[in-house]
Structure 1
Amino acid sequence: MSGPGFEPTTGPETEAPNWKEEVLQGGSLPRVELENGVNGWASPPGNSFHVRGPNYLVKKQKVPAGDWLLKPLGVDWVKSSSKLDHVLGRPDNRVMSALKRAIHDGKVSNAFIFAVNLQVPGREPHSAIFYYVTEDPIPPGSLFDRFIREDDNFRNSRFKIVNHIVKGPWIVKATVGNYAACLLGKALTCRYMRGQNYLEIDVDIGSSALASAICHLALGYTSCVTVDMGFLVESQEEQELPEKILGAVRIAQMEMGSAARVDSFVTDEREKVSGEAGSRFQRSKLGRGLSMLKNGHQKSLCKTGKVEAEEVEAEAK
C-alpha cells in the first residue's frame, strides 16, 4: 500500500501476471514466515484450531479444523481520521481493483471475496482488514452460501471467531484467553456489506465498552504477541457439522506504528449494497481472568522491556 489510498500506483509493465499474487505481494502488513516472522501476517495450518466435530451436539467433542475453505489474500493494517467502513466499496481498494482488472482482462470468471474489517476505536481509528477468496463456485445451500444470502439476524447468530495465543505475556493470555471462541455477531455490532462478488463484515469493537477495553489493553503488547485467528460460520444443527474455518490468519508481533494512513472518504457505492448493520449490543466475557483487570493498571514484561497497559474500567460478567 502506498499513497493516500489502498492501491499503489503501478504501470502496466509492473502488473503481476496473476491477480491473487499481485494482491498477496501488496498490503500494508507484509507476509512473513510462519514460525519466526515479525511485524507481519502468515497462514496458520487449519489444524491449529479446534472446532465442533461431527458428534458435537451429542458428545460436545471438538476436532482439528483441517483445511480452510477460502484462500488468504492478505492483510491491511491502516489508520484514518475516522472509522473506515465498507473498504471493498472504495474505488482505491487494492483487492477489488486487482479483481476487477483480472475480470476485465478475462483472467478470472468466477471469484468471491470474503473480508473481515476489525475496527479499532481511538483518537486515530485503526482497521485490521483480512481478505480471503475462492474461485470455485460456492455450493448452493451450504452453510457459507446461506450465510452470504440470509439476513443479518442469521449472520449475527452465526459469525464466529476462534483464536489461539501462540506467543505472548501472561496478561494477554489471561485476558483474551489462550484458546477462545466468540460469536462476534452477538458480542459486537457487525455491519454486513454484500456486493456482487463479495461479502464484507465490519466489526465495530467500540460498540462494546468491555471489548474496547480489552482491545486497548492487548494493543499495548502487540509487538510481543503472536496470535492465530480463524473466522467461521457456527454450526448449530447436525447436518451442518463438522465446522469449517472460512479463513485463518497469524498476526506476528505487529508494530502499532506500522499502520498505513488512508483517506476517510465515503463512496456512493456503499448505498448500492444490501444488508444492514447488526443492531444488537451485548457485552461478552471474551476470555478468562478479566477480574484481574478491574479498575486498575497491569504491568508485564516482554522481550523489548517493560510495557504498561492502559487503565481498564470494565465489569466482567
Structure 2
Amino acid sequence: MAGPDCERDYSWIEKVKSGGSVPCLEPENCSNGWATPPGDKFMIRGPNYLSDKVKIPGGGYILKPLGFDWIKGPTKIGNLLSNTNHRVRRAIDDETARGNNPFVWAFNLQIPSKDNYSAIAYFVALEPIQDDILVDKFLKGDDTFRNSRLKLIANIVEGPWIVRTAVGEQAICILGRALSCKYMSESNYFEVDVDIGSSMVANAIVHLAFSYLTTLTVDLAFLIESQTQEELPEQILGAVRFSELNPDSAGLYELSSEVGSGSLQSSLPTRLWKSIGLGLPQLLHLGNQDFSSPISDNANGGLHSEADEKNNENS
C-alpha cells in the first residue's frame, strides 16, 4: 500500500491539474472545463496493422495527465515552457529542486483568431523513457522524423451537425505534414507548438468550429505513429477532452521578462478571414480530406476521417 510519502510525491500533479483557468472535471460532465477521456474512445493501429489493417481501442496511456491551459495573449503564444514564470514550468523546476525528475510534454494548439487563443494539454512521465523505443527515437530524432510521426486523433463528442460534417468521424492527422510545428526539447520537457493558421483548410474548419465553441465537446489524442512491425501496436501518449469552452474564460498569458520576443509570434491578420473565400459546400467537402495532400493513413498522410480510411482499405 502506498504511504503518505508517495501521496505527497504526486500532490504537485493535482495542483497543476487544478491550476488552470478552466477546471479539471469528470469526463461525463466537464462543461467549460477539461477532463481525461477513456482511451478506448480512440481507434489505433493494432499489432498486425501492416498486414490486416485492423485497428484496436486505444486502451491505457503512456503518460499521466498533468494539466490544461485555455489562454490568450497579445500575439500568438509559443515556447511556453521556456518561460520560468509559467505555472507548469514553475512546477517542473520545483520538483527538480526536490530531487525528482519529471518529464513534461506540452501540446500547444495555436488557434488563429484576433485574440490569439491557445489550448495546451500537458502530460508527464514520472519514469525515464527506455532507450531505443519509439518514444525515445521521437525525442532524439530530428524535426523531419518528428513531422512524419506525430499524430493527432480528433473526435467531436458533442456538437452541431455542421461541425461534425466539417471535421468528420475520428479525424486523423499527421501534424507535421499538415501544419507547421515547432519543437522545443530540453532535459525535463518537450513542447510542440502547432500553428493551425498555417493551413488554409485547417484555418477555415477551426474558424467554423470556434463559432460553436460553447456547444462543442472535443476529444484529442496524441501519439507517435507506428510505421514498422516492431513498433506495433500503437500506444497513445495522452488525451484530453474539453467541453463547451467559453472564450471569456481564457486566462491572459503573461510573458516572462527573461523570454525574448520569439516566444510571441506575429498574429494572423484579421483580414485573412475575409480572404479565405471558402463557401460552405467546399468547406464541408474539404473537412474530410488531408490538410496537405490526398494521401490516406495507409500511406502515412495528413488529415482524413475514419470513414475515408475504411474506404481506402476496401479499395
One fold, TM greater than 0.5? yes
Cα gap change, 1:198/1:269 in structure 2, threshold over 3 Å: closer, same or farther? farther
Q: Does 1:42 align with 2:35?
A: yes
Written as runs of structure 1 = structure 2, the 5 A alignment for 1:128-143 is 128-143=119-134
Unaligned runs of 5+ in 2: 1-7, 263-277, 285-290, 295-315
Q: Does 1:78 align with 2:75?
A: no
Q: Residue 11 of structure 2 corresponds to which residue in structure 1?
A: 18
**Post-superposition shift, 1:29?**
2.0
Q: Distance in 1 between matches of 2:27 and 2:95?
A: 29
Which residue, 133, 143, 156 being the options, matches 1:165? 156
Q: Distance in 1 between matches of 2:66 and 2:30?
A: 18
Q: Residue 253 of structure 1 corresponds to which residue in structure 2?
A: 244
Q: Distance in 2 between matches of 1:150 and 1:141?
A: 11
Q: Distance in 1 between matches of 2:169 and 2:126?
A: 34
Query: Is the Cα contact below 8 Å between 1:82 and 1:264 reproduced in 2?
Result: no
What code does the residue aligned with 2:216 have?
Answer: V
Q: Does 1:91 align with 2:69?
A: no
What code does the residue aligned with 1:18 have?
Answer: S
Q: Residue 237 of structure 1 corresponds to which residue in structure 2?
A: 228
**Post-superposition shift, 1:82?**
0.5
Deviating more after overlay: 134-143 vs 28-37:
28-37
Deviating more after overlay: 29-38 vs 232-241:
29-38
Q: Distance in 1 between matches of 2:65 and 2:177?
A: 25
Cα gap change, 1:167/1:154 in structure 2, threshold over 3 Å: closer, same or farther? same
Give the alignment's Cα RMSD to 1 decimal: 2.5
Q: Residue 227 of structure 1 corresponds to which residue in structure 2?
A: 218
Q: Residue 294 of structure 1 corresponds to which residue in structure 2?
A: 282
Q: Distance in 2 between matches of 1:214 and 1:244?
A: 27
Q: Distance in 1 between matches of 2:201 and 2:219?
A: 21
Q: Distance in 1 between matches of 2:60 and 2:283?
A: 42
Q: Distance in 1 between matches of 2:155 and 2:292?
A: 24
Q: Distance in 2 between matches of 1:112 and 1:294?
A: 42
Written as runs of structure 1 = structure 2, the 5 A alignment for 1:155-194 is 155-194=146-185
Query: Is the Cα contact below 8 Å between 2:96 and 2:102 reproduced in 1?
Result: no
**Post-superposition shift, 1:40?**
0.5
Query: Is the Cα contact below 8 Å between 2:44 and 2:55 reproduced in 1?
Result: yes
Cα gap change, 1:270/1:53 in structure 2, threshold over 3 Å: closer, same or farther? farther
Q: Distance in 1 between matches of 2:226 and 2:257?
A: 35
Q: Does 1:200 align with 2:191?
A: yes
TM-score, normalisation: structure 1: 0.79
Q: Distance in 2 between matches of 1:166 and 1:178?
A: 10
Cα gap change, 1:182/1:295 in structure 2, threshold over 3 Å: closer, same or farther? closer
| CA displacement, residues 249-282 of structure 1 (integer Å, 9 cap, x when unaligned) | 11111112211112356745899xxxxxxxxxxx
What code does the residue aligned with 1:229 have?
Answer: L
Cα gap change, 1:293/1:90 in structure 2, threshold over 3 Å: closer, same or farther? farther
TM-score, normalisation: structure 2: 0.79
**Post-superposition shift, 1:215?**
0.6
Unaligned runs of 5+ in 1: 1-14, 272-289, 297-313
Which residue, 129, 138, 151 being the options, matches 2:142? 151
* SS of the residue 1:157 aligns to: helix
